[in-house]
A and B are shown apart, each in its own frame.
Chain A
Amino acid sequence: QSVLTQPPSVSGAPGQRVTISCTGSNSNIGGSYDAHWYQQLPGTAPKLLIYGNSNRPSGVPDRFSGSKSGTSASLAITGLQAEDEADYYCQSFDSSLSTWVFGGGTKLTVL
């Protein structure tokens, strides 16, 4: 059971918009700790997608955006493309556990 809760799967057609939620608590996202997002394409290592809730590293398309509200964070992907099919993970720090934590991951399927 992950400290950060993500839906196991989401799907969308090419060109559509999808969102992935990451629900935490007051000891992590709600406790003013930032949320970060990673993309893991099939058979590859994870890659940083969003840091500090809403910032994109250089090279990440602006189709990807992040936000945070209360104890939750969200990743939005607009203009869905086949190459976006991957697993997505959120991550934060948890003060109760005194460790960094990941969500369980969300598999995005492009229909």
Chain B
Amino acid sequence: EVQLVESGGGLVKPGGSLRLSCAASGFTFSKDWMSWVRQAPGKGLEWVGRIKSKTDGGTTDYAAPVKGRFTISRDDSKNTLYLQMNSLKTEDTAEYYCSQYYYGYLQHWGQGTLVTVSS
């Protein structure tokens, strides 16, 4: 059974940094592309970014609102996906979900971790 468990969320001040983790199990993590999606309170889903498998180059793509501030990385030896968030803004407040990316869609999702950016 595929399991994705996010952690690392919390309260951070504007301009601060936070690193989210997503522990994966139940599938061959190293072979799969992964994504982060967020959802502001009471709002819809928003794509954050994606990382390819190392076999496919390990490259990343980001949504415009987070490009240059957020970095997605992976540690295949630990079956873990990361989201490093810098220069956080109040509008980054959201539930952050990691997901297994498969041919353009998101096959499995974690339960999410809440990030609150507030002074």
Contacts and interface: CB of A to CB of B under 8 A. Distances in A.
Interface residues of B, number: 22
Contacts of A105: 44-45
Given A45-B111, A46-B97, A36 B46 contact: no
Contacts, number: 60
Nearest to A101: B47
Given A45-B110, A45-B111, A47-B109, A102 B104 contact: no
B107 interface: yes
Interface in A63-111: 89, 91-93, 97-105
A104 B44 contact: yes
Question: Chain A, interface size: which category?
Answer: 20 to 34
B110 A36 contact: no
Contacts of A36: 104-106
A91 B44 contact: no
B13 interface: no
A99 B47 contact: yes
Contacts of A52: 103, 105
Interface secondary structure of A, over-half rule: strand
21 contacts: A45-B109, A45-B110, A45-B111, A46-B37, A46-B106, A48-B107, A51-B102, A51-B107, A52-B105, A89-B44, A89-B45, A91-B106, A92-B104, A97-B64, A99-B47, A99-B64, A100-B47, A101-B47, A102-B45, A102-B46, A104-B44
